[in-house]
Amino acid sequence: MKMRKNVLGFLSLVLLVPALILGLSCYLAPAAQRDLSTSPLASERANAPSPNNPGKLRIIAFGAHPDDCEIRAGGVAAMWAAQGHHVKFVSTTNGDIGHWKMAGGPLAQRRTKEVQQAAKILGIETQVLDNHDGELMPTLENRKTIVRLIREWKADIVMAHRTNDYHPDHRYTGVLVQDAAFMVICPFFCPDSPNLSRNPVFLYFPDRFQKPNPFEPDVVVAIDEVIDKKLNALVELESQFVEGCVTGHEGLIPRNEAERAASHRRIRDRFRRRFEATANKYRPKLTELYGEKKGKKVKCAEAFEVCEYGRQPSAAELKKLFPFFGR
């Protein structure tokens, strides 16, 4: 009897060990080779965008609030979209304190609707994360969210604020995106989300801050052909630009359509001057990229700096990622 029990125990062990090894190998295998169909996030991944037109670029931009990406990259986003490339804007906070009169859920819902309308005009996708405005922190949970978003978008290009911006939400958005720059290719970080096989190119939005280091443009793009589309998108963000954001007042709210139209004209003129100033400030880079003749004619532009994290593109690759300079 004792020998029989030993034999049965040995046979059970023989059968159990391969099963354990198989299970462990499935867990330790690279994410792309694992069966994650039973993962809690499987349904989310099933709904994640997939390249339905191979050969097209995939760009994701992270702004701190529902207006940051639209201001800084709305023009180039519209140009990419017009060529069939995939562009997504993500706001890392819901903007729920960004007004002088209203706040909380009603403002967050309003600002989400505003950027959704702007996205329709630009021809892109948009998403607003449910973090409180002014309270974003560079936590592990938020880092994982950013990593998953970049992976699910299968990004070639990732854009965000620099980390020495004036606003804490801007700075921490920059920190979170920078911290994701290596993690997106690590198979065992967020193993429920398949890692990217190669690192995207990470780019900074421009800002005016000089310390500890000023913004240095590596790419300046002429947006004259889409400037009206970009301005049309920006005037949809009425809570910010018509009503004055956090420094507004009752007198800014239009009382009729005539006043709204007049306000929209002022906003368009103000932003047009801003993007003209960008072109003038970085005119040498424009002439370098477009040639002397075309570069001098550019009226409105957007500028971006290559982050030292992520893939480091050559000048030739940058022109492929921004396929506008030969036109």
pLDDT tens digit string along 259-278? 999 999 999 999 999 999 99
Helix-helix angle 227-234:257-281, to 10 degrees: 130
Token pair 């139209």 is found at: 261
Interval 14-26: pLDDT, tens: 444 344 333 334 3
Contact 115, 67 (CB under 8 A): yes
Does residue 3 register a pLDDT over 90?
no
Query: Residue 146 has which token pair?
Result: 């950013």
Residue 221 scores a pLDDT above 50 = yes
- CA distance linking residue 271 with residue 251, whole number of Å: 21
Q: What is the mean pLDDT of residues 79-84?
A: 98
User: What's the pLDDT score for residue 52?
Assistant: 58
Q: List C-alpha distances in Å: 265 to 51, 67, 114, 228, 254.
A: 38, 18, 18, 12, 13
pLDDT over 70 percentage in the chain: 83
CA distances from 204 to 163, 181, 207, 270 (A): 9, 13, 9, 23
Report the CATH fold assignment for 55-223+302-321.
Rossmann fold (3.40.50)
> Over the stretch 239-250, which tens digit does the pLDDT of each residue have?
999 999 999 999
User: Cα 225 from chain centroid?
Assistant: 23
pLDDT, the chain, mean? 88
pLDDT band at 327 (very low <50, low <70, confident <90, very high): low
- Name the pLDDT band for 39 (thresholds 50, 70, 90): very low
What would the two tokens of residue 262 be?
């007049």
Tell me the average pLDDT across 211-230: 97
